[in-house]
Amino acid sequence: MFLAERFKKAGKLNSFLFSKSNFRYMADVIFVDKLEKLERAIRSFDLSAFKIDKLPIKLHMGEAGNKYYVNPKIVKIIVDEFKRIGASPFLFDTISKYEGPRATKSGYKVVAFKHGFTKQNVGCDVIIGDEGKEVEIKGYKFEIANEIYNAPCFVVVSHAKGHSDAGFGGAIKNLGMGCVSRKTKGFIHCAGQPRIMKERCTLCGTCEAACIFDAIKVNEEWKIDYSKCFGCGRCIAACPNKALKPITENLRKMLAYAAKACVKGKKVLYINVLLNITKFCDCMPNPLPIICRDIGILVSGDPVSIDNASIDLIEKYSGRKLKEIEGVDPREQVIGGEEVKLGRASYELIKI
């Protein structure tokens, strides 16, 4: 029996994806270990609402020099599925906060082209955005790129991997950092930067050793170069005297809040690709080693569940905690996501 039929009978999967009262359910996360099953996994969901002109498929198309972004062949399967139901999809991403080839729309398009994201290869246009409209969550204002803000529904395709600041890069990160303006990307990073409570600091130097970006120097006094700081919070977690606090809020929680701002009032389908699972993210020219064997692809209507399931699977197959590998706790994204009802951490993994 097809999943759609099974869940229609159970009255569960299709209602979960779009129901406002869905928080009483565990989310369904479909797991396929072979690419040939991806179409079937997508078809398990009621996609009737996605039959629109200008359907964004949010995707990070990889930093120049990085080879571990989601393969265009996988993206084409997804694009074709939405064309099949009568939608007109386009691939979408926003420009980077940091300087580099993807810091401008034209520069990003060149990188996307070189990585194989052409109309000929994937069957749709590539659009790069930046500025947009503000949405407020928990008193924070996030500027959501117009292409996402104006869409009643969209699809989020994420390469699941480690991340130096977020601990894990999946659906929440792809929304919270990937669908917002350059201005908001800067705001989120700054929010997590440390501030010192001098009366507690013993000048032990633990935070300096913890910072992989060389932003802190501890000699006769504690000093930070904020231009080098990405707000990851490693130093805050490492301080034995609790002398450091984020300026505004933990970066991983901020990502979840921003993600909520992106999806508020919208219908969204999430696809996490657990292949070529690297230590660092697709933003890096060199993402460093593969930390886990290939696992498969997950599909869900819940960004918190799909990320929690992805982290569980990576930790199961690598035999290591991502928090230990990355130095920051990726589950803080999940906690932040539950806090603002972005989704649920509990899920049922359904292998097909």
Among 26, 35, 118, 213, binds ligand SF4 (CB under 6 A): 213
61 part of the interface to ligand SF4, by CB under 6 A: no
By CB under 6 A, residue 234 contacts ligand SF4:
yes
- Selected binder of ligand SF4 within 129, 170, 231, 343 (CB under 6 A): 231
Question: Per rule CB under 6 A, is residue 202 in the interface with ligand SF4?
Answer: yes
291: which 2 tokens?
């930390």
Residue pair 335/253 in contact (Cβ under 8 Å)? The answer is yes
**Interface with ligand SF4, residue 230, by CB under 6 A:** yes
According to CB under 6 A, which one of 193, 272, 276, 310 is a site residue for ligand SF4? Answer: 193
User: Taking CB under 6 A as the rule, does residue 188 contact ligand SF4?
Assistant: no
Nearest approach in angstroms of CB 280 to ligand SF4 is 14
Question: How far apart are CB 288 and ligand SF4 at their closest, in Å?
Answer: 17
Q: Does 233 bind ligand SF4 (CB under 6 A)?
A: yes
Give how many residues touch ligand SF4 by CB under 6 A: 29
Position among 206, 248, 318, 346 found at the interface with ligand SF4 (CB under 6 A): 206
The residue from 65, 86, 152, 205 that contacts ligand SF4 (CB under 6 A) is 205
Closest distance to ligand SF4 from the beta carbon of 258 (Å): 18
Binder of ligand SF4 out of 38, 57, 232, 255 (CB under 6 A): 232
Task: Establish if 185 lies at the interface with ligand SF4 (CB under 6 A).
Answer: no
Candidates 36-44, 116-124, 195-203, 285-293; binding stretch for ligand SF4 (CB under 6 A): 195-203
Q: For ligand SF4, which stretch binds (CB under 6 A), given 28-36, 80-88, 189-197, 308-316?
A: 189-197
Residues that bind ligand SF4 (CB under 6 A): 193-194, 196, 201-207, 210-211, 213, 215-216, 218, 222, 224, 229-235, 239, 241, 243-244
